[in-house]
Amino acid sequence: KLSSDKINQDGGVELQFTVKNTGKLKGDEVTQVYAHSMDASIKVPINQLKRFQRITLAPGENKTLTFKIPASELSFYDIKTNKFEIQPGRWEIQIGGSSKDIRLKKTVSIQ
């Protein structure tokens, strides 16, 4: 769940989701949060790692994780102004075990 699907340039977004061990053995998972700009006016990485956390889960155990991403972390360096700029547009927030194993996607808009 997202705190909001629209954020202003001074705000941010809070993500909350649950991870469950569906196996029969205790296991570790490194949950990773990526951001992808869908409307960037310049060339940017496809996935930008923003947060991660290793958790250990017993068989059948659930854990709810919460991450906060400020809008300032969704910025680009503008060589014309020589500073980081937050561009309005859509960002896809991706959650998974790796950049190749995305299990949840949500879109937020910066206004």
34-75: per-residue pLDDT in tens? 999 998 777 778 899 999 999 999 999 999 999 999 988 888
Number of structural domains in the chain: 1
Residue 73: inside a domain: yes
Asked whether residue 25 is assigned to any structural domain, the reply reads yes
CA distance 20 to 66: 15
Q: What is the mean pLDDT of residues 62-89?
A: 88
The pLDDT value recorded for residue 2 is 63
Contact 109, 6 (CB under 8 A): yes
Does residue 1 form part of some domain?
no
The predicted pLDDT at position 80 comes to: 84
Mean per-residue pLDDT of the chain:
89
Parent domain of 88:
6-110
CATH at 40: 2.60.40.10
